A = this chain, B = another copy of it.
Amino acid sequence: MASPSKRINAIQQHLTPQQKHAQAVDPVASMKEERAKAAFDIRQLTYLLDGGEKSTLLKERFMLDFERDPLFKMDDIHDISKEQLRERTMEKFRSLVHHLSNESLDVFRKRMEIVSLIDPGFWTRFGVHYGLFVGALQSNATSGQLGYWFQRGALSLTGMVGCFAMTELGHGSNVPGLETTATFDEAADQFIIHTPTLTATKWWIGGAAHSATHSAVFAQLVVKGKKYGTKCFVVPLRDPKTYDTLPGINIGDLGKKMGRDGIDNGYIQFTNVRIPRGYMLMKHTQVSRSGRVKEPKLQQLTYGALLQGRVAMVVDSGNVSKKALTIAVRYAAVRRQFSSSNSDIETKLLDYPIHQRRLMPLMAQTFAMLFTGNEMTAMYNRMMGRLENAKADDPDLAEVLEMLKETHSTSAGLKAFCTWNCLSTIEACRQACGGHGYSAYTGLAGMYQDFAVQCTWEGDNTILTLQLGRYLISSYREALSGKKLSPGVGYLNSLDTLIGKRCRVANNEFLVDPAVIMEGWQVVCAHVVRNAALEFQECIDRGLDVDDAYEHCSQSRLYAAKLHSYGYLFNRFVDGVTKVEGSLRSVLMDVCLLYGLYTIEENAGAFLQYEFFSPQQMEYIRNKTNELCAAVRDQAIPLVDSFNLSDYMVNSPLGRADGNVYVHYFDQVKQSNPQGPHPYFERLIKPLLERQLDSSDVEDDEAGLESEDDEDEE
Contacts and interface: CB of A to CB of B under 8 A. Distances in A.
Interface stretch (A99-107, A218-226, A382-390): A99-107
A174 B609 contact: no
A255 interface: yes
B547 A689 contact: no
A545 B341 contact: yes
When all copies of this chain in the complex are counted, the total is 2
A102 B441 CA distance: 41
A172 B685 contact: no
A510 interface: no
A511 B448 CA distance: 41
A496 interface: no
B199 A662 contact: yes
Contacts of A174: 337-338, 346
Given A58-B711, A354-B462, A337 B685 contact: no
B254 A678 contact: no
| A interface, over-half SS | helix
A456 B438 contact: yes
Given A352-B551, A445-B449, A662-B170, A703 B61 contact: no
Contacts of A457: 435
A256 to B, nearest CB: 4
Nearest to A355: B462
Interface in A533-563: 545, 547-548, 551-552, 554-555, 558
B711 A211 contact: no
Interface in A31-47: none
A84 to B, nearest CB: 10
Contacts of A678: 210, 243
A63 to B, nearest CB: 14
A28 interface: no
Interface stretch (A137-145, A406-414, A577-585, A668-676): A668-676
Contacts of A234: none
A673 B608 contact: no
A171 B681 contact: no
A704 interface: yes
A184 B554 CA distance: 69
A710 B108 CA distance: 12
A93 B688 contact: yes
A354 B561 CA distance: 14
Nearest to A465: B354
B679 A210 contact: yes
Contacts of A402: none
Contact of A258 (B101, B340, B440): B440
Contact of A456 (B199, B258, B435): B435
A461 interface: yes
Given A103-B703, A156-B693, A608-B615, A438 B453 contact: yes
Given A172-B434, A174-B337, A554 B352 contact: yes
Nearest to A672: B255
A598 to B, nearest CB: 12
Given A101-B698, A243-B678, A663-B198, A255 B449 contact: no
A555 B256 contact: no
A78 B81 CA distance: 12
Interface stretch (A5-13, A157-165, A565-573, A587-595): A157-165
A159 B243 CA distance: 56
A342 interface: yes
Given A243-B681, A441-B256, A608-B608, A341 B548 contact: yes
Interface in A437-463: 437-441, 445, 448-449, 452-453, 455-457, 460-462
A662 B87 contact: no
A19 to B, nearest CB: 12
Contacts of A691: 158
A198 B663 CA distance: 8
A256 B76 CA distance: 11
Contacts of A430: 258, 452
A490 to B, nearest CB: 26
Given A156-B698, A678-B243, A662 B198 contact: yes
A450 to B, nearest CB: 11
A624 interface: no
A670 B434 contact: no
A297 interface: no
A242 B689 CA distance: 11
Nearest to A677: B243
8 contacts: A61-B714, A102-B706, A104-B704, A107-B710, A170-B336, A354-B558, A434-B460, A604-B608
The 10 closest A-B pairs by CB, nearest first: A604-B605, A258-B445, A256-B440, A608-B608, A253-B673, A354-B554, A255-B673, A103-B707, A605-B605, A101-B697
Given A93-B684, A158-B690, A252-B673, 4 more contacts: A102-B703, A242-B681, A354-B466, A603-B605
